[in-house]
Amino acid sequence: MHELPDDIPLMRHMLGEPDERIDLALTCDGKFRQHYEALQAQWKASGLLDTVAAVDVDRQWEAFKRRRQKRTVPLLLKIAAAVVGAAILTALLWRQPERHELVHHSMPHGEQGQVVLPDSTKVWLNAGSELTYDARKREAVLQGEAYFEVQADPQHPFYVQAGAVRVEVLGTRFNLMAYAGDSLVSTSLLQGSVRLHSGRDTVLIRPGEKTVWHGQQQKFSTTDTGTETDTRWKDGELVFRKEPLERAFARLERWFGTTVVYDRDSFAGHQITARLEKGETLDKTLLLLQEILPMHYSVNNNVVYIRHK
């Protein structure tokens, strides 16, 4: 991945200043392009780009030099640089996005990525996931799967609404999965403290525990295994532990950005336990599944057809 330039060159490029290094990164690096477009959308919405453009630092500097004689003492140069720098800093601080703005991030099928929220909380989004964050309330809404590293602020708890479950967080690291159409909402806690709410039920979970909300039974269940493997996806690995075939195939669809067609009745009761290494291709994955399941497969136009042996 290309090294990300700092914010000032990015701002100048967005305002029309040529930069071959940034142009190359936008062309060759998908993650950098997402980072660039997200910043651009945020800065446009907040008016920050318009403010920086209005400052026009180069013009102010040239005007200052014309007002001075050619033999300008170093002290005056330092003062001038400080004045121009202060103008930029004032513009940046004055036009930062207000705390009540909504921030939205989405990750398409076949991709994973990291975002940083306005409160400095880090979030890794898995494929096919969407996150909306209200900075004023410090509340997020998740559809999909995400790993959070939340900045501690005891006076302002961090909340995530995931399906029927509301997660209350106080400075912690945890994984949360709640895809649309799935009746299960899974929370795996690695560090800190998390309290889950759904209806009248409330559960406090500890590091190393995994709690699942069963939508059909309307209840929570907690185990003390699997928290580490539940986060492997953010490092490029996909892990299945006694996973029902329907859920496993849905994860493969999102992971590879494909569609899986199969007869559910033929594979009723089947489960998968496997680990896909980072960079594993769809074809190698299907060959692995063919070794552990009674199946044949074919691929046509990014659609995987699976039939029972």
CA-CA distance, 202 to 195, in Å (whole number)? 7
- Does 2 fall in a domain? no
Return contacts of 281-287, CB within 8 angstroms, 24+ apart.
282/252, 282/256, 282/258, 285/252, 285/256
**Separation of CA 199 from chain center:** 28
Q: pLDDT tens per residue, the chain (309 residues)?
A: 344 444 667 777 888 888 777 877 777 776 677 777 777 776 666 566 665 555 444 554 455 455 555 444 454 444 444 444 555 444 444 444 444 478 999 999 999 999 999 999 999 999 999 999 999 899 999 999 999 999 888 888 999 999 999 999 987 999 999 998 888 999 999 999 899 999 889 999 999 999 999 998 999 999 987 677 889 999 999 899 888 999 999 999 999 999 999 998 988 889 999 998 888 899 999 999 999 899 999 999 999 999 988
> Measuring CA to CA, how many Å separate 247 from each of 4, 70, 71, 160, 237?
36, 73, 74, 23, 17
Which domain CATH number covers 123?
A: 2.60.120.1440
Give the domain extent around 53: 7-94
Instruction: Select from 229, 262, 286 the last residue of a domain.
Output: 229
3 state DSSP class of 259: strand
Instruction: Select from 94, 122, 139 the last residue of a domain.
Output: 94
| pTM of the predicted model as reported, rounded to 2 decimal places | 0.65
The amino acid sitting at 61 is W
- Dihedral, CA atoms, 71, 73, 78, 82, nearest 10 degrees? -70
CA-CA distance, 124 to 148, in Å (whole number)? 7
CA-CA distance, 292 to 273, in Å (whole number)? 9
Residue 54 and residue 152 share a domain: no
Structure tokens at 162: 């995931």
> Measuring CA to CA, how many Å separate 218 from each of 202, 212, 213?
12, 11, 7
Instruction: Select from 229, 260, 289 the last residue of a domain.
Output: 229
CA-CA distance, 230 to 241, in Å (whole number)? 10
- Does 208 fall in a domain? yes
Residue 225 and residue 118 share a domain: yes
Q: Looking at the chain, which runs of residues are DSSP E strands?
A: 102-107, 113-116, 122-125, 129-134, 139-149, 158-162, 165-169, 173-178, 184-191, 194-198, 201-205, 210-214, 219-223, 238-244, 259-261, 271-276, 295-300, 303-308
